[in-house]
Amino acid sequence: TSKPRKPGRLFFANPGPTNIPDSILRAMDVPTVDFMSEDFIDIYDQGVAGLKRLLFTTGEVFIYTSSGHGAWEATIQNLFSPGDTILMPECGYFSRTWGAMAKRFGLNTEMPETDWRRGPDPATITERLLADKSHQIKAVCIVHNETSTGVALDLPAIRAAIDAAKHPALFLVDTISSFASLEFRMEDWGIDAVVGGSQKGLMLPAGLAFTAVSEKALEAHKSATLTRFYFDWTKMMARRHRSFVGTVPVPPFYGLVESVRLLESEGIENVWRRHHRLAEATRRAVSIWSGNQGVAFFCSDPKRRSDSVTAVKMPEGHDAEAVRKIAYDRFNVSLGGGLDPLGGQVFRIGHMGDLNEPMILGTLSIVELSLRLAGVPHANGGVNAAIDYLAAA
């Protein structure tokens, strides 16, 4: 049985993957070329140079044919040895999963659980590092933007917390849902390894992921003994591409060059500002909806509300999946669901990537309409509040 056609475009409002601009789709529509040819190497080099500019780093970047999980895995394998201790404050689904992966690789993973609605306090990191007199902790690992909760952490404050303890631990950051959406400056912020992916701020399909590394991280790599093969940075550095132990996927790099062109033609600082503006419009709507004991921000600290995703918490006794189903089935709008323990308790509005005012207003309208149809307590007028904000912004 064929399903009835849904007219119009799918409004994709998930917090990743994100909408792919038409020019990126077209750029990736290329026939097979020799990945060792000068023509492709030139495209490859342009893509990598662009990535470095957008990350504000001059160090090495290792790129993988995988989603973000592969970059997590590669980063663990290349930086640590069995039994090494790392500090990974647990504040959402992604920090929990990254920590679980590190444990599986035989690391001693300290995961102090924090309030998922606001994330760790940097002072607790200083405290823990000060207590580690013999410098057993090899790295502090932080998810910049917890996509599952909509909480964004202040990375310079965490850098300062590590410095306050005068501790030599590496500073590792997952920037998967913040890169090219939220302000991010790898070198200025003293970050040693950054894990990123293609399918969010870069507006590409999933399937490319990377780790950018500092000199200090490369030094640590030299003595790291965890088993690795395909993701081995030393092997990658021996290759012309300085990445990939095997066939290089060609089309994503044509896409990457176009993605960098689009981001730089807008200006990366303007990209951050646009994300802030559209996120703020979303927040104005959620603030109104939260009246009448209705839905609420999952992130309890207004200063930590993310500019790339807003997680909306349901009132007791209401299922977020019912709202998502109405939005998707009836209106062709795809919202993010709650992950793992947050299943049914939150839905998530993605506002990252190739997004403008009509797209966010369309999404917010359908969220408000779906809340009404699902009988979820909320106050009306969220979309108007978003319009008022955008009119003045």
Which residue's CB is nearer to ligand PLP, number 107 or number 386?
107
Distance between CA atoms of 318 and 374, rounded to whole angstroms? Answer: 9
Which residue's CB is nearer to ligand PLP, number 152 or number 285?
152
* Least distance CB 377 / ligand PLP (angstroms): 29
Which residue's CB is nearer to ligand PLP, number 320 or number 386?
320
- Nearest 5°: the CA angle 339, 342, 348 is 65
* Least distance CB 271 / ligand PLP (angstroms): 18
Answer yes or no whether residue 20 interacts with ligand PLP by CB under 6 A.
no
Distance between CA atoms of 349 and 382, rounded to whole angstroms? Answer: 14
Which residue's CB is nearer to ligand PLP, number 16 or number 338?
16
Distance between CA atoms of 60 and 234, rounded to whole angstroms? Answer: 12
Each residue 253-292 as x (binds ligand PLP by CB under 6 A) or -, in order, gives ----------------------------------------
- Token pair 């909320």: residue: 378
Query: Is 372 annotated among the ligand-binding residues?
Result: no
Single-letter amino acid code for the residue at 298: F
Residues sharing a CB contact under 8 Å with residue 134, sequence separation 6 or more, in sequence order: none
Answer yes or no whether residue 177 interacts with ligand PLP by CB under 6 A.
yes
Distance between CA atoms of 261 and 268, rounded to whole angstroms? Answer: 10
Answer yes or no whether residue 197 interacts with ligand PLP by CB under 6 A.
yes
* Least distance CB 148 / ligand PLP (angstroms): 7
Distance between CA atoms of 26 and 28, rounded to whole angstroms? Answer: 5
Which residue's CB is nearer to ligand PLP, number 173 or number 323?
173
Which residue's CB is nearer to ligand PLP, number 197 or number 255?
197
Residues sharing a CB contact under 8 Å with residue 341, sequence separation 6 or more, in sequence order: 93
* Least distance CB 378 / ligand PLP (angstroms): 26
Torsion-angle region of residue 289: left (phi > 0), alpha (psi -120 to 50) or beta? alpha
Instruction: For 189, list phi and psi in degrees, rounded to 5.
Output: -95, 10
Q: 28, 143, 312, 359: which one contacts ligand PLP (CB under 6 A)?
A: 143
Q: Contact at 8 Å (CB) between 331 and 8?
A: no
Nearest to 257 by CA among 198, 214, 213: 198
Q: 59, 68, 89, 255: which one contacts ligand PLP (CB under 6 A)?
A: 68
Q: Contact at 8 Å (CB) between 115 and 144?
A: no
Q: 88, 137, 165, 176: which one contacts ligand PLP (CB under 6 A)?
A: 176
Q: Contact at 8 Å (CB) between 317 and 329?
A: no
Residue nearest to ligand PLP (CB): 68
Distance between CA atoms of 258 and 252, rounded to whole angstroms? Answer: 10
Containing 208, the helix (H) or strand (E) segment is strand 208-213
Answer yes or no whether residue 196 interacts with ligand PLP by CB under 6 A.
no
- How many CB atoms sit inside 10 A of residue 131's CB? 9
Answer yes or no whether residue 44 interacts with ligand PLP by CB under 6 A.
no
Stretch that binds ligand PLP, among 40-48, 64-72, 161-169, 356-364 (CB under 6 A): 64-72
Which residue's CB is nearer to ligand PLP, number 19 or number 67?
67
Answer yes or no whether residue 122 interacts with ligand PLP by CB under 6 A.
no
Q: 206, 226, 369, 390: which one contacts ligand PLP (CB under 6 A)?
A: 206
Stretch that binds ligand PLP, among 2-10, 61-69, 218-226, 355-363 (CB under 6 A): 61-69
Answer yes or no whether residue 354 interacts with ligand PLP by CB under 6 A.
no
Answer yes or no whether residue 169 interacts with ligand PLP by CB under 6 A.
no
Nearest to 155 by CA among 181, 137, 182, 135: 182
Q: 73, 174, 258, 307: which one contacts ligand PLP (CB under 6 A)?
A: 174
* Least distance CB 206 / ligand PLP (angstroms): 6
Torsion-angle region of residue 64: left (phi > 0), alpha (psi -120 to 50) or beta? beta
Taking the C-alpha atoms of 372, 375, 380 and 383 in order, what is their torsion angle to the nearest 10 degrees?
Answer: -40
Summarize as ranges the residues that interact with ligand PLP (CB under 6 A): 16, 67-69, 94, 143, 147, 174, 176-177, 197, 206
What residue numbers does the annotated binding site for substrate cover?
348
